[in-house]
């Protein structure tokens, strides 16, 4: 089924926010800690069907790389890791909230927890392939992103509520 223009238009607004926020956060030196690209895309996972939100998981990191050179795509392979993480997070948000009908805060908490464990596994794998300190590298990566994890648990459900309250989605 072809997606509706309305969904594509909303997806592009979240995509643009996901491209703009990292520039702002990186300028303040807070990029890796606050997961700025994840915040709008996680909200998109709640508000949009996966066939529209899913391509954002690949399009946003790729567009950001083409526009700014970040996130790196090869060394370190942050871009491909982010694509997998974002796809996983959006799918988890959608399934938990829309299929299993869980409350939005509970769905966000469970999806974020599952995504962080998935991320830990990906970091461990990347560190093994690149011959980096595996355990410390993966754990430090996870700890570094704690402020962003808290935002994913609190700000994203709040944003989704605001958007729904204004009857925009």
Partner 1 sequence: MIKTAFLLLLQAAALAAEPLVIGPAAAAGTVYFLAGRKSRTRVRLGAWLFLAFFAFLCLTGLAEGAFGISIPDYGRYALLALRGYASFLVALAGTMMFSLSEVLCFLKKLRVPGYVLTMIYLMIQDLAVFNRLAGDTHRTVRSRAAGLGRLARIRLTINAAKNFVIFAALKFRYRHEHILARGLTLDLPLDDWRARERLRQSG
Q: Which residues bind partner 1 (CB under 8 A)?
A: 2-3, 5-6, 8-17, 19-21, 23-24, 26-29, 31, 52, 55-56, 59-60, 63, 65-70, 72-76, 130-137, 140, 155, 159, 162-163, 166, 168
Closest approach of partner 1 to the CB of residue 123, in Å = 11
Closest approach of partner 1 to the CB of residue 52, in Å = 7
Residue number with CB closer to partner 1 (54 or 92): 54
Q: Going by C-beta distance under 8 Å and a sequence separation of 6 or more, which residues neighbour residue 109?
A: 153
Closest approach of partner 1 to the CB of residue 75, in Å = 4
Residue number with CB closer to partner 1 (15 or 89): 15
CA 71 – CA 41 distance, rounded (Å): 16
Residue number with CB closer to partner 1 (31 or 80): 31
Residue number with CB closer to partner 1 (21 or 92): 21
* CB neighbour class for 99 (10 Å; exposed up to 12, middle 13-18, buried from 19): exposed
49: left (phi over 0), alpha (psi -120 to 50) or beta: beta
Tokens of 13: 């607004």
Residue number with CB closer to partner 1 (20 or 109): 20
CA 19 – CA 141 distance, rounded (Å): 21
Closest approach of partner 1 to the CB of residue 111, in Å = 20
Closest approach of partner 1 to the CB of residue 143, in Å = 11
Compute the residue count for the chain. Answer: 169
Whose CA is closest to 150, among 71, 42, 70, 48? 42
Beta strands in the chain (DSSP E): none
């Amino acid at each position: 089924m072809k997606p509706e223009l309305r969904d594509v238009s909303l997806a592009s607004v979240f995509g643009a926010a996901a491209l703009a926020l990292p520039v702002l956060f990186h300028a303040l030196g807070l990029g890796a800690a606050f997961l700025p690209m994840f915040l709008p895309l996680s909200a998109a996972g709640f508000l949009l069907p996966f066939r529209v939100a899913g391509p954002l998981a690949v399009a946003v990191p790729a567009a950001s790389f083409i526009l700014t050179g970040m996130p790196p795509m090869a060394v370190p392979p942050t871009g491909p890791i982010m694509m997998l993480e974002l796809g996983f997070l959006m799918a988890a948000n959608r399934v938990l909230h829309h299929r299993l009908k869980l409350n939005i805060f509970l769905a966000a908490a469970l999806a974020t927890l599952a995504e962080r464990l998935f991320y830990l596994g990906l970091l461990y794998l990347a560190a093994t392939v690149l011959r980096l300190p595996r355990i410390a590298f993966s754990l430090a990566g996870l700890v570094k992103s704690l402020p962003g994890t808290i935002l994913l648990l609190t700000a994203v459900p709040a944003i989704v509520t605001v958007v729904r309250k204004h009857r925009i989605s």
